[in-house]
Amino acid sequence: MNALVSRASLAKRYAVLGIFSLLIWMIAWLTWLSPSELLPKSVATGLAVAPMLPAALLALFRRPSAAFWGGVAALLYFCHAITELWTAPDTWPMPLVELLLALWIIFAGNWDGLKAKLFKRGHT
């Protein structure tokens, strides 16, 4: 993990933190907090974490593209959280955490590019 920490920007490190936090949250949500009534726990949890697994593996192998792919996968989690908030408002805290973690990953993974674009010196 030291190589990832030493080469990656602070924003990328925050994105990786968000990736693993979202994975842990989805496992906790679908295993203990509110298991699916339609699918077995293992199937529901596997489907829920599948989109973020490539980004987590890239982070484990210290690949610089982990934050990018985490941001791409986080868009799916963002959509899922909005859908859950809309269709099951009685469980609002759980999808709200998912929504916040997805936004965390999206913004952290793109912060370096946004910063370069927005705060560029010497406009022409």
Hey, where are the domains in the chain?
2-118
pLDDT for the residue 117: 86
What span, in angstroms and rounded, lies between the C-alpha atoms of 97 and 116? 29
The answer on pLDDT for 74 being more than 50 is yes
1: confidence class by pLDDT, cuts 50, 70, 90: very low
Contact 102/74 with Cβ under 8 angstroms? yes
Query: In this predicted model, what pLDDT tens digit does every residue of 16-46 receive, in sequence order?
Result: 999 999 999 999 999 999 999 999 999 999 9
pLDDT for the residue 121: 65
DSSP run (H or E) holding 2? helix 2-7
Contact 116/98 with Cβ under 8 angstroms? no
122: confidence class by pLDDT, cuts 50, 70, 90: low
